[in-house]
Chain A
């Protein structure tokens, strides 16, 4: 891996944004940093999944949040938890790992379900269908209260994961004055990222990855050469969905509770912004994109409060989202390859 200009720039930018965090938070920067890195890890994982869809295969998926949601809800419902308005308790459940595996598979299957109608269609149609499906998912989760807890959501599931924390970990983290529960989730996210990237790198350089890139280039040619483009796209869709499901689980355990307001389009847009920022198709792009994104975004709230006095909380959040939208636009227009994307792999004209 040669140290080229874009790597240097990326590393500098990462250091810069993290220092911003320290600068704006003189009291207790480590805690903010811990929080930041946990979020960054979870979102980076989600972005890696999206990169499989868009970077590797050229699929426009704007319902990514729903994959995360399926992974989360299925996993949570399988471990001991409490749900709904009354906080109905389900004491029995599967061990975390089994529930997680089923959750990931469920997310992948949801990807298959979504893919079946959509993947034969052209890019912009897929975008619309994925948004629609994500909305249907949200509505179903909200209305099937007896199963999903509806707007009241699911709580009291954290112990399923937290009980695996080793004692030395607790001691070490508490000494740093951080929250062991959250750092545990963060650590697991980053470990997942490590293994997922190994898998993706292997696939990138494999015949399957090569086939996916061909599909991204020209589906008709792929078909004329005897390959089933639809099935290849579906596989990619499922893989990215499964990774998103994993990220969704970590997101849920980070918050300690889930409700319908969690897996919404804004989540999808965050992940898109991170993926584009990091560099579409780049292996480690999502990591840097996520760290920089979260570092800067979390500080803009303070900036916003300075500029817009008297604005209420919702409006301050609006500043954050407006910036996300602006970021997506500016990146797509002026620097579509993001920080670490390959210029040669820039999006050309869609056929």
Chain B
């Protein structure tokens, strides 16, 4: 089980980052963004495109050649592109919907349509093949009690640092407070001089950047697939629900725990031979939480029904 703990932490940190992103967006805009997974995938796919060797056949129809850039640089640019994408989504799609006072349910269905649309665009243009970042294979090393490759260990550390920074930014900075103000009341916020449109835009951008980063992490540890976001989306929901919807801190903790539970469950006796069903464990946990403690670990007991 200990070895799975290492895997669990890795998966956990990824889900954590992605969950915070989702939770942030939900807190401020009240939108459950089902296309979140596609922004995650975007981070990975863009990084793949920028960093793959020139003339390698990764993109549709070989019409576009990858750029062969340095990996870290590609990743940074990809994160920025994801942020820009999120911003565009807000400006072109969600802001008009908000101004037109379209109901929550309709917006939710729109995000589902968006998710289907984007995911299959990826399929068309990035192919359905499983692909990998152009990184060398590494051997596992031992860090305290965990066994993992140096690169994965870096992912873990970077992930933790990002989480801490996000936590600090949210709690102590003016922007963080403004985000929380908009969450609590759009009208009150605008009265006190906070431009809720700008705050929402900022939230979309930062949420998307975090999502893109999570996607890059995921692809670094595993691989790049057109539907990698969709595959992980349910785990992200599970993490957010477990930690408590609407609390970023909860999302962090919940995501980490889900990652650990999922991986560790592989070692449980009844899971033998069914290791791929480990995701099902996360989903079962989520359903149980919703049954007995819908506000999660840290959530407020708001009227959930």
Q: Is the CB–CB distance between A139 and B117 below 8 Å?
A: no
**What are the residues of chain B within 8 A of A140 when measuring CB–CB?**
277, 280
Q: For window 63-116 of chain B, which residues contact chain A by CB distance below 8 Å? A: 97, 101-106, 108-110, 112-116
Beta-carbon contact of B124 and A308 below 8 Å? yes
Classify chain A: how many residues form its interface, as a range: 35 or more
* Binary flags per residue of B261-281, CB closer than 8 Å to A gives 1, else 0: 000000000000010110110
Establish whether residues B120 and A319, one from each chain, have CB atoms under 8 Å apart when the complex forms. Answer: yes
CB neighbours of B128 from chain A (8 A): 312, 314-315, 318
With A and B bound together, what is the CA distance between A269 and B230 in angstroms? 14
Q: Measured between alpha carbons, how far is A138 from B127 in the docked complex, in Å? A: 25
**Chain B residues in 8 Å Cβ range of A110:** none
Report if A336-B106 is in contact (Cβ < 8 Å); known contacts: A117-B290, A125-B290, A328-B112: yes
Bound together, the chains give a CA A312 to CA B124 distance in angstroms of 9
A121-B109 contact, Cβ under 8 Å, with A135-B283, A143-B277: no
Q: Tell yes or no: A147 within 8 A of B by CB.
A: no
CA of A318 to CA of B227 in the docked complex: distance in angstroms?
11
Q: Is B60 an interface residue (CB 8 A)?
A: yes
**A322 with B106: CB separation less than 8 A:** no
Determine whether the beta carbon of B290 is less than 8 Å from that of A321: no
Tell me if B160 counts as interface (CB < 8 A to partner A).
Answer: no
Chain B residues whose C-beta falls within 8 Å of the C-beta of A269 in the assembled complex:
112, 116
Query: Which of A123, A129, A131, A333 interacts with B102 by CB under 8 Å?
Result: A333
A92 beta carbon closer than 8 Å to chain B: no
Give Cα A330–Cα B277 distance, bound, in whole angstroms.
Answer: 35
Q: Is B241 an interface residue (CB 8 A)?
A: yes
For residue A129, which residues in chain B have a CB less than 8 angstroms away from its CB?
286-287, 290
What are 13 residue pairs bridging A and B, where the CB atoms are less than 8 Å apart in the complex? Answer: A120-B305, A121-B294, A125-B241, A128-B234, A135-B280, A139-B280, A314-B128, A315-B60, A318-B128, A333-B102, A347-B103, A349-B101, A350-B104
**A: which residues have CB within 8 A of B?**
58, 60, 62, 116-118, 120-125, 127-129, 131-133, 135-136, 139-140, 142-143, 219, 269, 272, 276, 308-312, 314-315, 318-322, 324-330, 332-333, 336, 347-350
